[in-house]
Amino acid sequence: MRRQSETLLFLPLLPIFLVGMFPMLMIGLLGFAGLALFGVLLICVGLASGNEAHDTFNHDVIVHGYPRGSERAARASDVHAATRLAHRVEAAGLGVIIVAILGFLYAG
């Protein structure tokens, strides 16, 4: 039985690496300003994720009507889980911004 090479598993990940290489290079070149920019982007992702969770819940209620108790509890649980994750991402973004400001004040 012929064994396939594991390097072929990394081939689909190459475009992701190439796309992600430029922002990471820019963060490195911009220094603390790049780190703060990354924090702002994290906050934007958190806000968008929370809005998308609420949008999906509202869409389901509008299109499918108000669900029964068990289904409503499951959908509400999904919204709360997505909202908690969004809040964590926003907090991480705020933390990155604080670290960038402290680093700028300490190093500059």
As for how many domains the chain has, the answer is 1
What number is the average pLDDT over the span 15-39? 85
27 lies in a domain?
A: no
Instruction: Report the alpha-carbon distance of residue 10 to residue 28 in Å, rounded.
Output: 25
Instruction: Report the alpha-carbon distance of residue 65 to residue 32 in Å, rounded.
Output: 49
Per residue in 51-100, pLDDT (tens digit) is 999 999 898 888 888 778 888 888 889 999 999 999 999 999 999 999 99
The per-residue pLDDT of the chain, averaged, comes to: 87
Asked if pLDDT for residue 7 goes beyond 80, the answer is: no
- Cα atoms found within 13 Å of the Cα of residue 47, Cβ hemisphere only: 8
Domain residue limits at 74: 35-107
More confident residue, 5 or 23: 23
24 lies in a domain?
A: no
Share of the chain above pLDDT 90, in %: 44
The b/e string for 31-42 (b: 16+ C-beta within 10 A; e otherwise) is ebebbbbbbeeb
99 lies in a domain?
A: yes
46 lies in a domain?
A: yes
Rounded to two decimals, what is the model's pTM? 0.73
